[in-house]
Amino acid sequence: MMCGLFGAFSAKKRNILEDVYLGLYALQHRGQESAGVAWTNDEGRISSTKGSGLVHLALDQESLAGIETSCAIGHVRYATTGASNDLTNAHPLTASTSKTSLAVAHNGNLTNAEGIKHFLEGRGAIFHSTTDTEVILHLMAHQRHKPPLDALIDSLTKLRGAYSLVMIVGDELVAARDPWGFRPLVLGRRDDVYYASSESCALDLVGATALREVQPGEVVIIGKRGMDSIPIPMTVRRRYECSFEYVYFARPDSVLSGRSVYEVRKTLGRKLARSAPCPMAHIATGMPDSGTIAAYGFAEASGMPYEQTIVRNRYVGRTFIEPTQRVRELGVRIKLNPITEVIRGKNIAVVDDSIVRGTTSQRVISMIKDCGASQVHLRISSPPVRFPCYYGIDTPSRAELAAARMNVKKLEQKIGADSLAFISEEDLIESIGLPSEQICTACFSGQYMEGGEDNGPEL
């Protein structure tokens, strides 16, 4: 799942559920299918509520604001495993053992979840959902002889793939990140309240200061004694921080691995202007909203004016993360509207962040040309997406990926552009500013994480 996580802890009971609600609001771009929260109640157990749709529809803000608790977590969901229309799969998932109560919210995909599930079912486990996250709770439950945190850390050593987690374990907030570092997770603080969030932008909303990121392979425990850290005892060959977070998914006002997402996207646009110039264009424009910042950089480096040519309906969600092709197609029609007076008679360089299925690009180019544009040249601030992602982005098969089915020239013709060019993988990595061996580019290069780490899972 490509989702949003937010957790809060205070040694004193406070209205931190309202903070969690606000944090999820700031992370709404990471998931629109469901939202949920869980918290420790007066009986020392865990209560939870969740619903379908956007945060303000799924959760009752007024009710949550009236609850005092010391520990709470929340989740917004965009499903890549488990049925999206089944609230059983909505997070947080909760469970109780003889020793403690648990709640877990997960961002990422576990690539060996099916194998673990079959193993556990053979030992009598009964699964209540079809989401991969439930295997974590069952792995812990099968280690009843261990303290809960020990059972958790041992369980994490058996997982492969992407997981950033926020959990309630007893009365403590736990944040964990896989050893490969696929998905972001940051810690923050405001007065005596500690936070864990998928992105720093959510910390800004609740008035918290970002402390640091949860490191790959780290488990952070926040309780009445303060904050502690335990490493997951695994050695991995390299890191795999998701490059698509910088290209598309993260909010531009977030900071990932010390890099401003806004600055990365603007740098991508500048590099794109140098590697794929468009001297015939009169103006540059961005595809709202994810292509806009790269378009600023493209226009600046090209020495041409930037103009807004397309207006986005702010009350329509992001089409890439809608669950069906039909909804995606309908979304384009109601989401974007061109400004004819700016477009008519112009050669236009349109900058977008990516081409995945190609549906949006084709319809927008057609829309712009119908408004009288002389030429439309498309520039993409990421390499061609040719391979499916197995770590939490909804590109499950190569058959769905436009760039996997055709070369650039054929794709150009398919979407109706007068020219089409992508940024190179090298320029993408340079723009992010991290070493190439720390960045996952599998959706562009097909270089996936190898399954056989030095200490492979022994169930």
Kindly list the catalytic residues.
Answer: 3
Token digits of residue 301: 């480096």
Q: What's the gap between Cα 206 and its chain centre?
A: 20
What is the three-class DSSP state of 234?
A: coil
Query: What's the CA gap between 422 and 385, in Å, rounded?
Result: 10
CA distance 63 to 71: 16
**H-only helix segments in 105-208:** 113-121, 134-141, 148-156, 200-205
Q: Determine the 3-state secondary structure of 103 from DSSP.
A: strand
Q: CA-CA distance, 178 to 200, in Å (whole number)?
A: 19
Q: How far apart are CA 144 and CA 112, in angstroms?
A: 23
What are the angstrom distances between the C-alpha of 150 and each of 1, 22, 31, 171, 231? Answer: 25, 32, 31, 16, 11
Distances (CA, A) of 154 to 97, 126, 131, 232: 16, 21, 20, 8
